[in-house]
Chains A and B, each alone.
Chain A
């Protein structure tokens, strides 16, 4: 088993994240719509979980579990699973087609997908159940979950927040992809009491760290240096559509696919980024 790298290589992470964004951009040209902004928002988080923190066996399997609670962000998971060889190029080419097995939301039964998500507010409870089951094993797996900030508005999420800490589930590492952008506007405007977010998780007994969600080194360090003893929440400040200037913080890119001209401009920006 390869243990996570103690010195997460941020240079490599940057290269991977650029590659993943580019791959998602290419797939966007096959379909009228995909959740591109939502995937770009959590690219560094998901990359760091898979490449920096999850343990991997020689056969490609992992004792740890990744759960995309914000199911609509799964394009980033698909392209990472493609790179791991868990999903094939043909799988990605068949995205949202009658011959394919990948849809807009991750589906249970698909290789590499731990649970069917898409309806928000389900993932963290399932993560609790998984973490409980893992706790009875010799080498308990860690459940890595990514939540959207919107789904933190679901009451069911808070039921799970309460239970995870009450049960002392120290094998849950969750992240909130806090891009502050929902369908009807800025969360900070529509739901002023949503913030401060970290304090709320802390008050519910979680260990919390706040980071720039596009700073891979910061994400890695925050999670790797957690003290343990309970569940861990990473409140990651992110930008929806991160990496392509015209997509950043613009609600339409929650779902739209770029046209040809936009596609070329997006590629140029990704290639030119440091």
Chain B
């Protein structure tokens, strides 16, 4: 995902001299090297100084530029939180805060590197928009959109590398709209971000059990496509949400709220990260499993033994 981000941003920057990227001692590889060598004045490395990364982006945007802040998700959102809130969101500036390696992708790095509650935190700030693509192709769509939008700040939540393609047969990408990845009837699985791969795998398990499961990607977590989710709640007997975020403040919590609001009759199962820190190490799937987000655990809970 990070390489696709770099490649897409480089292409956008070729066309738009107002695009800047401000990084905090960490940079996507690939075309980011071309970006920094061809446009050195628009590639700023603040070093390990994330507060200034956000403040500098704000200053650039106040002068009409279209900046991106880039580092590991915990450091792009948590460390400079007040700068994100005051400088970007309060002033409603079109700055994209890129959170790379979000969720528990930095599995073996420990909790300091896990952005478990970034969706809840970013989503709680007025004016903030959140886009969390599920595969590299969605990263390209989302990055292009971020580079051209003037609505206000965006938290662009990325994975890291090696994510499979999930959207080859999907509907076209549109900001703020649910995107159908797979058609189905009985069951509907809703997800976003890297963990959407688990949603696809779960749909395969349903198919093997003779049930047809639709899969939707909710890449725009804020503003949430409430109408789209309400439709899904009405049209399916069983809705499942899989989310790599804590139970509060994300897609699972908001889907439950919408279900209550419309007095939905469907069965609703939600799977999220746990509301506690887990001091496990290992790879990303190991960390997800420790939080109860393995395919096997989810399949069992939804009646697929």
> Is A214 interfacial (CB-CB < 8 Å)?
no
A125 x B58 contact (CB < 8 A): yes
A133 x B65 contact (CB < 8 A): yes
14 A-B interface contacts by CB (under 8 A):
A108-B91, A122-B83, A125-B59, A125-B87, A126-B55, A129-B61, A129-B65, A130-B62, A132-B56, A133-B59, A134-B63, A135-B41, A159-B51, A160-B55
Provide the bound-state CA to CA distance between A156 and B57, in Å: 14
A128 x B90 contact (CB < 8 A): no
A132 x B49 contact (CB < 8 A): no
Residue of B nearest to A126 (CB): B59
Provide the bound-state CA to CA distance between A163 and B63, in Å: 18
B55 x A132 contact (CB < 8 A): no
Chain B positions 80-114 with a Cβ under 8 Å from a chain A Cβ: 82-83, 86-87, 90-91
B83 x A125 contact (CB < 8 A): yes
> Is A222 interfacial (CB-CB < 8 Å)?
no
Q: A134-166: contact bitstring with B at CB < 8 Å (1 yes, 0 no)?
A: 111000000000000000000110011011000
B83 x A130 contact (CB < 8 A): no
Q: A16-54: contact bitstring with B at CB < 8 Å (1 yes, 0 no)?
A: 000000000000000000000000000000000000000
Provide the bound-state CA to CA distance between A156 and B58, in Å: 14
Other than the given A125-B52, A133-B63, A136-B17, 19 more pairs (CB < 8 A) read A108-B90, A118-B86, A121-B51, A125-B54, A125-B58, A128-B59, A129-B57, A129-B60, A130-B59, A130-B63, A132-B44, A132-B56, A132-B60, A156-B52, A159-B49, A160-B52, A162-B47, A163-B56, A167-B44
CB neighbours (8 Å) of B67 from chain A are 129
Which of B17, B20, B64, B90 sits near A116, CB closer than 8 Å? B90
For chain A, the bracket of interface size reads 20 to 34
> Is B266 interfacial (CB-CB < 8 Å)?
no
CB neighbours (8 Å) of A136 from chain B are 17, 41
> Is B258 interfacial (CB-CB < 8 Å)?
no
Give me the interface of B with A, judged by CB distance under 8 Å. Answer: 17, 20, 41, 44, 46-47, 49, 51-52, 54-65, 67, 82-83, 86-87, 90-91
Residue of A nearest to B92 (CB): A108
Interface centre among A121, A128, A129, A163 (most CB of B within 10 A): A129
Which of B41, B46, B62 sits near A115, CB closer than 8 Å? B62
Interface centre among B17, B41, B59, B65 (most CB of A within 10 A): B59
Give me the interface of A with B, judged by CB distance under 8 Å. Answer: 108, 114-116, 118-119, 121-122, 124-136, 155-156, 159-160, 162-163, 167
A132 x B59 contact (CB < 8 A): yes
Provide the bound-state CA to CA distance between A115 and B63, in Å: 10
CB neighbours (8 Å) of A162 from chain B are 47, 49, 52
Q: How many A-B residue pairs have CB under 8 A?
A: 97
Which of A108, A135, A156 sits near B83, CB closer than 8 Å? A156
Provide the bound-state CA to CA distance between A108 and B91, in Å: 6
Provide the bound-state CA to CA distance between A155 and B92, in Å: 24
Residue of A nearest to B61 (CB): A129
Residue of B nearest to A109 (CB): B91
A126 x B49 contact (CB < 8 A): no
Which of A128, A133, A135 sits near B52, CB closer than 8 Å? A128
Provide the bound-state CA to CA distance between A61 and B90, in Å: 25
CB neighbours (8 Å) of B17 from chain A are 136
Residue of B nearest to A141 (CB): B63
Provide the bound-state CA to CA distance between A159 and B48, in Å: 9
Which of B52, B62, B86 sits near A163, CB closer than 8 Å? B52
Interface centre among B55, B58, B67 (most CB of A within 10 A): B55
Smallest beta-carbon distance B11→chain A, Å: 20
Provide the bound-state CA to CA distance between A167 and B20, in Å: 14
Provide the bound-state CA to CA distance between A126 and B95, in Å: 13
A125 x B51 contact (CB < 8 A): yes
Provide the bound-state CA to CA distance between A184 and B91, in Å: 31
Smallest beta-carbon distance A180→chain B, Å: 25
B87 x A126 contact (CB < 8 A): yes
Smallest beta-carbon distance B82→chain A, Å: 6
